[in-house]
Structure 1
Amino acid sequence: MPSWLQLMLDSLLPLLRAGLIFTIPLTLLSFALGLALGLLTAIARLFGAKPLVAVARFYVWVIRGTPLLVQLFVIFYGLPSLGILLDAFPAALIGFTLNIGAYTSEIIRAVISSVPRGQWEAAYSIGMSWGQAMRRTILPQATRVAVPPLSNTFISLVKDTSLAAAITVPELFQTAQRIVATTYEPLILYIEAALIYLALSSVLSALQVRLENRFARYGGFLEART
């Protein structure tokens, strides 16, 4: 067996373990929390009072206007100067959550705004409150439109978690770096890490297609009913 293949086989289990223990949980938690934050931010910008709108806009402006890596460094390396000490994983989780929250808020704001005004009026006409109209009428329609861009954001997040290596989170990419430090085979290990990321992205892309098709059928069902 070629030495390079043996090296890839020997390092496969540590890389997969790091992905299961750190990369995947970091991705799922960051996206779930970021999506919730994005929804709140979008609602604040669309329906909030002027001070709340200003705060939401400022948050989105700062996060979207600065690199994710810089944001992670500020949280992990910068906050200790203020007496705020965070372990690597919580710091990464906060950084990714804030970043995803800003980007998803723009997606959610756009899809909610795309729902025709008549849908609000129809909901109000049958006695729904604002909250009921949002939950039962607006968000279900907006979700169908939001699935593709939100899915793309999730897939991008899987790859972006490699930046957590810069703040010492022992996820997949940093594990590859550690193996490189002992084997002195950067090309082989980094290609292997890239292939694992590629496999994850490919699986998620296939799931995205199925999810989009399902929502498309659901949308057709709703249109047929109306």
Structure 2
Amino acid sequence: MNYVLEVLPSLLDGAKMTLQIFCWTLIGSLPLGLIVGLALISRFRLLKAILRFYVWLMRGTPLLLQLIFVFYGLPLVGLTLGRFDAALFAFILNYTAYFAEIFRGGLQSIDKGQYESAKVLRLTYWQTIRKIVTPQVVKIVLPSIGNEVINLVKDSSLVYVIGIGDLLRAGNVATSRDVTLVPLVMVGVVYLVMTAVLTFILRKLEQYYSYWK
């Protein structure tokens, strides 16, 4: 127990970095995913083609490879980012693509008659999206969004490859230094706690939106 208490502060510091990456990625990728999702069902063919290529590229290559490319590859073309900024850039690009596909599916599931009804009521396109379409889409896509949110918690451990002191890196350092697996067990427990809290929040959100049948 003394050893656990000795290692715990460094793990909690790493967990703070993990939570920062998690929160900023969600803040950046969710609204961008909705915008890209709307663009994917728009009438602008060139824009749709470009965004489809982007989504295909982000979903078809590993996040780890994208992270390495952003941090080590972009400086070759004169764009240098700090470790934290590079991690956020790669994560937001990756998760925006996944969220865009989720939102696209949700938007296309809305009956076209609702758009026509909104026109009869003289609602603008954005009023229709905000007041009629979005509440229904949120209910439809929430389970899929929840799965990606849980995955994001675990994917955040990939930032160790560019030297960011996240939770997993703190556990690896303690394991190598003290030649024991206890820190990694503690890392697993912390991840389980974070995912349990997120699962609880997501279930509450699903219950909140369940009144739309």
Matches within 5 A, 1:55-74: 55-74=50-69
Matches within 5 A, 1:26-45: 26-45=21-40
Are 2:206 and 1:193 equivalent residues in the alignment? no
Inter-partner Cα distance in structure 2 for 1:211 and 1:44: 26
Instruction: Report the Cα offset of residue 48 of structure 1.
Output: 4.3
Instruction: Report the Cα offset of residue 28 of structure 1.
Output: 0.8
Residue 95 of structure 1 corresponds to which residue in structure 2? 90
Which has the larger displacement, 76-85 or 49-58? 76-85
Instruction: Report the Cα offset of residue 181 of structure 1.
Output: 2.9
Partner SS for 1:115: coil
- Report Cα offsets for 1:112-146 as digits up to 9, x if no partner: 11111111111111001111111111111111111
Are 2:4 and 1:8 equivalent residues in the alignment? yes
Residue 177 of structure 1 corresponds to which residue in structure 2? 172
Length, aligned pairs only: 213
- Report Cα offsets for 1:2-53 as digits up to 9, x if no partner: xxx3322211121112212x11111011012111221121111101411100
Identity level (%) = 33
Alignment gaps of 5+ in structure 1: 221-226
Inter-partner Cα distance in structure 2 for 1:45 and 1:205: 29
Are 2:209 and 1:215 equivalent residues in the alignment? yes
Inter-partner Cα distance in structure 2 for 1:176 and 1:77: 24
- Considering only aligned residues, what root-mean-square deviation do their CA atoms show, in Å? 1.2
Of 42, 47, 72, 1:47 maps to 42
Inter-partner Cα distance in structure 2 for 1:48 and 1:84: 33
Letter in 2 for 1:206: F
Inter-partner Cα distance in structure 2 for 1:85 and 1:48: 36
Partner SS for 1:196: helix
Residue 146 of structure 1 corresponds to which residue in structure 2? 141
Of 112, 120, 125, 1:117 maps to 112
Inter-partner Cα distance in structure 2 for 1:181 and 1:59: 39
Instruction: Report the Cα offset of residue 180 of structure 1.
Output: 2.2
Q: TM-score, normalised by structure 2?
A: 0.96
Letter in 2 for 1:14: S
Partner SS for 2:165: coil
Alignment gaps of 5+ in structure 2: none
Instruction: Report the Cα offset of residue 84 of structure 1.
Output: 1.6
Q: List structure 1 segments (4+ residues) > 4 angstroms apart after TM superposition.
A: none
Are 2:134 and 1:165 equivalent residues in the alignment? no
